[in-house]
Structure 1
Amino acid sequence: MTTFLTPQQHADRTGAAVAAAVAAGRGLGLTVTDPTVLHDVFSVVVHLAPSPVVARIPTVLPRPNDLAAIARRQQDELDVARWLAGQGIPVIAPSPLVPPEPVRRDGFSMTFWLFVEEARGKEPDYVANAESVADLHAALRAYPGRRLEFLSAADPRFIADSLALLDRHPDLIGAAELDRARREWRILEPLVRSRGAFEARFPGIDLQPIHGDSPPANIFNAVDGDLYADFELVTLGPIEWDLAALGPEHEAAYNRGARRNGTRPLDEEVLAFVNALAMLRVIAALSLVPQLPRLMEYLKPAVEHWKTTPFAAGISG
């Protein structure tokens, strides 16, 4: 039977993350007297008040003890966000008050960001956000940073490990569904693991730096205007990955943005691939439910939808 994190254990984890961020912030010379948790799902996000600095501490992770790997991804995020800010792109930037690098403290790896006042009460417009992602992609094409890994945002190791682990958790997924997911993964895995295999299957599809984590859902409503945020999964890949599983309305909005700025529209075959891959990441995310029990209420509808979709989006092995 699966053992789930209790509310007290969750509170203890959050408290430990906040304490680590406060200690790290003070160690960097920040004044911190009133730390305030702004967000607590996959990461604990804490305003180190009164300093205008926000610390983000990942806490729900496939491999929480691999701090070196976490820090490598965080450095990519800091680098691309700092570069975008320097180009005048509206983005939440790393804090200028501390060095732009991850900090390890008490078993956590964290990053520090400029505090931005949220426009509370403003409902996000995800369709408009999807259109604006074409502008973000246009900017990212010029990113000169060190080489990003191909589709690292899909995290094929996480998918493979999770599909193996879920055998031991029949209360999270049924045997028939797990069997289907594994058969789909056998078809899709080579296209994720190998850039060459992807390019052979989808000739002519250009690859570029992309956000990696559904940017229409990661645009922050600031008092002074919307800002791109949360580049934790920044990667090299097809633009379609950033629209995965969002549906026709958002795809059409993106294409409007692409026409406006002269970049290419979404490719239907690549969309089918990334949509199927995104659904397998949903199945894999079931393995994280013991760390974050309320995640199940968000994943369950997606799993039910996945059951109605064509096998591996019609892609043949």
Structure 2
Amino acid sequence: MTDAKVLHDLFSVVVHLAPAPVVARVPTVLPRYVDLDSQARRQQAELDVTRWLADRGTPVIPPSPLVPLEPVQRDGFSMTFWQFVEERRDIGPDYVANSEITADLHAAMRAYPGPLSFLSAAEPRFIVDSFALLETRADLVGPADLERARREWQVLEPLVRSRAAFETAFPGIDLQPIHGDSPPANIFAGADGDLFADFELVTLGPVEWDLAALGPTLESAYNRGAQRSGMRPLNQDVLGFVNAVGMLRAIASLSLVPQLPPLMEYLKPAVDQWRTMPFAGGMAG
């Protein structure tokens, strides 16, 4: 390997191992409690799901067939290997179209037979741990905001941690394998067509989780796709719940700013929006 090229460097370093048609993804910005074993379990789920989807013709970036289907650990890092796909750079993302085809992804994922944890993508331990870290970082979030976030989490946490509690709160809402990390924002513009990518947070949950914080226009686009693909439309009560949890994950992510200073510019609009939203997505009252 003599021509390796960094394709992306934010939460992970993504490297094309040219001239081989292989891309390595190495997560580098992680919560302090994440160890190699827990990281490898999550990465294995991602590899298994994307391999399964690719084998059934779903448009995803597949794991590399040149490397065993498992994470590789070196020098304290855990990495995965993916098939290199040429990127189309002439147009930007169409989030409306991306939201509509997310319903197709959900339809494809429904039959995935492998084990997945309930709403692990919400990362409840990350939220709790980050709130503790932020107690001493008033430069990142003020005491009043942090106190509100903690009170909201008291309302939302039981439904995040317990499938039974969620199902009691939202009777009749089916749970299924979902992408976990906003698939409309994680569609790769491949030279031969769009491909779903970055299933690092793949989980079992309501389809609404994958549309959290995207707003009414994109929700409507998803519902058009759902009608076409035989999926149910989004439920407004569940959207309120996932939007509220998503906002608390944004607050918690402020704890990562010391590792990744540019993150602040992405998080500030979300925090500003959160201040205008009903307490705990309206679930407390």
Same fold flag (TM > 0.5):
yes
- TM-score norm. by structure 2 comes to 0.99
Q: Could you say what secondary structure the match of 2:177 adopts?
A: strand
1:142 and 2:141 matched: no
Partner in structure 2 of residue 229 of structure 1: 197
Alignment of 1:72-221 (within 5 A): 72-145=41-114, 147-221=115-189
Using the alignment, how far apart are the partners of 1:305 and 1:275 within structure 2?
11
| C-alpha distance after superposition, 1:224-257 (max 9, x if no partner) | 0000000000000000000000000000000000
Q: How many pairs are equivalent?
A: 285
The corresponding residue for 1:71 is 40
Normalising by structure 1, we get a TM-score of 0.89
**Deviations for 1:161-217, whole angstroms, at most 9, x for unmatched residues?**
111110011100001000000000000000001000000000000000000000000
Secondary structure of the residue aligned to 2:18 is strand
- Opposite residue 245 of structure 1, the aligned amino acid is A
Distance in 1 between the 2:110 and 2:202 partners?
Answer: 13
CA positional deviation for 1:263: 1.1
- Cα offsets for 1:51-92 (capped at 9, x unmatched): 000000000111365011110000000000000000001110
Q: Distance in 2 between matches of 1:301 and 1:131?
A: 25
- For the aligned residue pairs, the C-alpha RMSD in angstroms reads 0.8
- Determine what percentage of the aligned residue pairs are the same residue: 74
What is the identity, as a one-letter code, of the residue corresponding to 1:296?
M
Partner of 2:27: 58
Runs of 4+ in 1 over 6 A off after TM superposition: none
Matches within 5 A, 1:165-314: 165-314=133-282
Give, in whole Å, the separation in 2 of the partners of 1:65 and 1:141: 29
Residue number in structure 1 paired with 2:16: 47
Letter in 2 for 1:130: S
* Whole-angstrom CA distance in 1 between matches of 2:33 and 2:263: 17
Partner of 1:266, secondary structure, is coil
Letter in 2 for 1:306: W
Flag structure 2 segments of 5+ consecutive residues without an equivalent: none
* 1:271-310, Cα deviation, whole Å (9 max, x unpaired): 0000000000000000000110010011011101110111
State the distance in 2 between where 1:96 and 1:215 align: 23
Shift of 1:144: 1.3
Separation in structure 1 between the aligned mates of residue 34 and residue 197 of structure 2, nearest angstrom: 25
Distance 2:33 2:257 in 1: 14
Distance 1:35 1:261 in 2: 40
Q: Secondary structure at the match of 1:116?
A: coil
